[in-house]
Amino acid sequence: MKQRRNKQSTTIGLTYDLRDEYLAMGFTEEETAEFDREGTIVAIETTLESLGYRTDRIGHIWNLVRRLERGDRWDMVFNIAEGLYGAGREAQVPALLDAYRIPYVFSGPLILALTLDKAMTKVIVKDAGIATPEHRVVYHPRDIAKIDLPCPLFVKPLAEGTGKGIDPRSVIRDQEQLYEVCRLLLSRYNQPVLVETYLGGREFTAGIVGTGDRARCVGVIEIILKDNAEEGVYSYVNKEECEERIIYSLTDPAAVEVCADMALKVWKTLRCEDAGRVDIRFDEDGKAYFLEVNPLAGLHPEHSDLPILAKLHGTGYRELMKMIMDSAVLKLKQTVHETGTPVDQYAH
């Protein structure tokens, strides 16, 4: 009879893209905006160890390939790798782990590929009856003339995060500006441009922990721009300098109820797993609309939206991480490892 291992012997591999490593390769600050600083990896590593896990830093996908090739394996992988190339860049690590039947934390390749494409995500969410701004996609400069939505509009790269490609010019007031900004984004980011109806109301983000029917909202915060922030948008600059430009605030119960309900519906509709964020914005009349979902949310204890909102609602970083790991373990309870060892060895 095989002896069941306790959590002290459970090894968690860490896959991630370290920002400083890519900067040293010659990539720019903006190109690496979605990648993690050393402080984030240290926080994840030390917190998992405080929860009784052993950790093993793997790093980016090329390191993962080398480690797998030489025979290294882990009981589970804590995956926050964003990837660098391709429409499925966020899905590459979990797809590789699936091939080796190594379980991991957070959503799988189907969901990560889908949610990186903001337009496809909106189509599915809208089909589920959830309000989202009307949108069009510009694949080529000739598509700009086909945009039949009235101004004001909002434009951004189709498959970026951390506010990349967003600044005050993203709010489109006329056709001339639409041509100018769309052409700029097509050229700069080498990907389609999402064009959607601009919403002039309040902006919120909701944190979700759990999978399926066990998912729950751990908090909603309002994102308020300070006077020195770039006007009207949660932009790349505003996010990079959030301590000086942004107020993350608890908000009124009515807004919390609306946003939490919408966020959970989005999360369950898209079948996201373990933890992430859902961004919501109101129009001028106070109606809520889904903007986008982040199934690989930032996890820096002080600078990332999910830990910030959790803390504002009374959930500390260690507790948040435990909730995430508990969700990942629960997903696996009915499966079997390649070794044949029941995965409920991870329950604690």
Domain of 172: which CATH number?
Answer: 3.30.1490.20
Q: Is residue 95 part of a domain?
A: yes
Q: At what angle do helices 109-116 and 92-99 cross, to 10 degrees?
A: 170
Per-residue b/e over 45-54, b at no fewer than 16 CB within 10 Å?
bebbeebebe
Whether 141 and 96 map to the same domain: the answer is no
Tokens of 54: 């052993």
Q: What is the pLDDT of residue 231?
A: 81
Going residue by residue through the chain (348 aa), what tens digit of pLDDT does each one get?
A: 233 344 457 999 999 999 999 999 999 988 898 999 999 999 999 999 999 999 999 999 999 999 999 999 999 999 999 999 988 999 999 999 999 999 999 999 999 999 999 999 999 999 999 999 999 999 999 999 999 999 999 999 999 987 888 989 999 999 999 999 999 999 999 999 999 999 999 999 999 999 999 999 999 999 999 989 888 888 878 777 888 999 999 999 999 999 999 999 999 999 999 999 999 999 999 999 999 999 999 999 999 999 999 999 999 999 999 999 999 999 987 454 444 555 444 433
Q: Is residue 116 part of a domain?
A: no
Question: How many CB atoms neighbour CB 347 within 10 A?
Answer: 12
Whether 67 and 180 map to the same domain: the answer is no
The residue among 70, 65, 59 whose CA lies nearest residue 25 is 59
Tokens of 336: 């079997």
Looking at residue 311, its amino acid is: K
Q: Is residue 330 part of a domain?
A: no
The residue among 16, 22, 31, 21 whose CA lies nearest residue 236 is 31
Whether 65 and 52 map to the same domain: the answer is yes
Tokens of 203: 């902006």
Whether 166 and 251 map to the same domain: the answer is no
Number of domains in the chain: 3
Cα torsion angle, 122, 125, 127, 132, sign: negative
**Whole-angstrom Cα distance, residue 256 to residue 221?**
8
The domain boundary residue, chosen from 161, 177, 197:
197
The domain boundary residue, chosen from 66, 92, 107:
107
**Whole-angstrom Cα distance, residue 233 to residue 166?**
7
**Whole-angstrom Cα distance, residue 134 to residue 291?**
11
Looking at residue 80, its amino acid is: I
Whether 248 and 144 map to the same domain: the answer is no
Whether 319 and 205 map to the same domain: the answer is yes
Whether 85 and 18 map to the same domain: the answer is yes
Whether 305 and 213 map to the same domain: the answer is yes
Q: Is residue 123 part of a domain?
A: no
Q: What is the SS3 string spanning 78-121?
A: EECCCCCCCCCHHHHHHHHHHHCCCCEECCCHHHHHHHHCHHHH
**Whole-angstrom Cα distance, residue 322 to residue 318?**
6
Tokens of 216: 């729950």
58: CB partners within 8 A, 6+ apart: 13, 14, 15, 16, 64, 67, 74, 77
346: CB partners within 8 A, 6+ apart: 7, 10, 75, 76, 329, 332
Q: Which H or E run contains 341? A: none
Q: What is the pLDDT of residue 341?
A: 52
Q: Is residue 31 part of a domain?
A: yes
Question: How many CB atoms neighbour CB 262 within 10 A?
Answer: 23
Q: What is the pLDDT of residue 151?
A: 96
Q: What is the pLDDT of residue 345?
A: 45
Q: Is residue 338 part of a domain?
A: no
Residue 285, domain CATH: 3.30.470.20
Tokens of 135: 């949108």
Q: Is residue 33 part of a domain?
A: yes
Whether 179 and 221 map to the same domain: the answer is no
Q: What is the pLDDT of residue 12?
A: 98
Residue 190 lies in domain: 136-197
Whether 26 and 81 map to the same domain: the answer is yes
Q: What is the pLDDT of residue 346?
A: 42
Q: How far is CA 165 from CA 93, 100, 160, 197, 233, in A?
A: 25, 36, 8, 17, 11
Q: Is residue 212 part of a domain?
A: yes
The residue among 198, 28, 13 whose CA lies nearest residue 93 is 13
